[in-house]
Amino acid sequence: MRLVIARCSVDYVGRLEAHLPLADRLLMVKADGSVSIHADDRAYKPLNWMTPPCTLTETQISDADGEDVGVHLWVVENRKGEQLRITVEQIHSDLYYELGDDPGLIKDGVEQHLQELLAEHIGTLGQGYTLIRREYPTAIGPVDILCRDAEGGTVAVEIKRRGGIDGVEQLSRYLELLNRDELLRPVQGVFAAQEIKPQARTLAEDRGITCVTLDYQGLRGIESDELTLF
């Protein structure tokens, strides 16, 4: 993670246009590629941000004679061509921290129960699905469910109560390891949750991971008027 405290202005260029005038702010660049701009208030919510997948390019701004004027331009761009253009006039602090892999939140009772119910009714994911095992061990932690689809392909399932980007990143790490196993690969991913945030769904689909919205009451066998999948 990179944490930069800087005097900067920010322009968003995309479907809408937004401008943050010159002020001191915290710029946060995470290992997943996301970039967010924070003020010293408003709790955790950033003033503006760009979720992955996106690219960050930093350039120096020069005057008409080609001399460096001490100002840097950060251009953060996603695949839709939307941009955050951050003009950094002065850097007060620029720190890098290697946080390493995060084990994620310990499952609460609902997540654990969702895992048990989905394993018991694995056909919820699709006709012909069969369970290999729950809590399939890997070097970085257990995969919630490992199963096979109707064609015999291996599928790794990560289950969350509320599915965010962190959960997609966690599943991506599992898939990278599992696809090194000649007996299992190719391994596809399913990100299953009662609620999946739009940014997480975008990232998952970009990585070829299927998103499934689970109906907890429906899995328990209680009738519901809501759709259970997709």
Instruction: Evaluate the omega torsion of the peptide bond into residue 53 and state whether it is cis, within 30 degrees of 0.
Output: yes
The answer to whether residues 71 and 145 belong to one domain is: no
Section 180-186 average pLDDT? 90
Q: Within a domain: residue 225? A: no
Q: Of 70, 96, 122, which one is at a domain's C-terminal end?
A: 96
Specify whether 151 is located in the same domain as 66: no
Query: How confident is residue 76, by pLDDT bands cut at 50, 70 and 90?
Result: very high
Instruction: Give the domain CATH number at 161.
Output: 3.40.1350.10
**Residue with more model confidence, 128 or 67:** 128
Look at 116 and 23; give whichever has higher pLDDT.
23
**Is it the case that residue 227 has pLDDT exceeding 70?**
no
Examine the domain organization and report whether 202 and 115 are in the same domain: yes
pLDDT (mean) for 39-66: 88
What is the amino acid identity at position 123?
G
- For residues 124 and 193, membership in a common domain is answered with yes
Structural tokens at position 107: 């499952």
| Same domain (yes/no): 119, 156 | yes
* Lowest-confidence region among 28-42, 56-70, 157-171, 200-214: 56-70
Which of the four pLDDT bands, split at 50, 70 and 90, describes residue 222? very low
15 and 90 belong to one structural domain:
yes
Mark whether 76 and 114 lie in a shared domain.
Answer: no
For residues 137 and 162, membership in a common domain is answered with yes
Full domain range(s) for residue 196: 109-219
Predicted pLDDT of residue 218: 77
Domain count, the chain: 2
pLDDT digits (tens, 9 = 90+) for 89-118: 999 999 999 888 777 655 555 778 888 888
One domain for residues 182 and 81: no
Closest CA to 47 of 59, 56, 39: 39
Mean pLDDT of 162-189: 92
Kindly indicate the confidence band of residue 197, based on its pLDDT and cuts at 50, 70 and 90. Answer: very high
Beta-carbon contacts of residue 65 (< 8 Å; ≥ 6 apart): none
Same domain (yes/no): 70, 132 = no
For residue 89, being part of any structural domain is answered with: yes
pLDDT > 70 fraction of the chain, expressed in percent and rounded: 93
Q: Is residue 78 part of a domain?
A: yes
Distance (Å, rounded) from C-alpha 75 to C-alpha 82? 10
81 and 130 assigned to the same domain: no
Indicate whether this model's pTM tops 0.75: no
Q: Which of 50, 72, 96 is the last residue of a domain?
A: 96
The CA-atom distances, in angstroms, between 66 and each of 69, 85, 186 are 9, 21, 52
- Mean residue pLDDT of the chain comes to 88
Asked if residue 73 and residue 13 are part of one domain, the reply reads yes
pLDDT tens digits, 44-56:
789 999 988 899 9
From 96, 125, 153, the end of a domain falls on 96
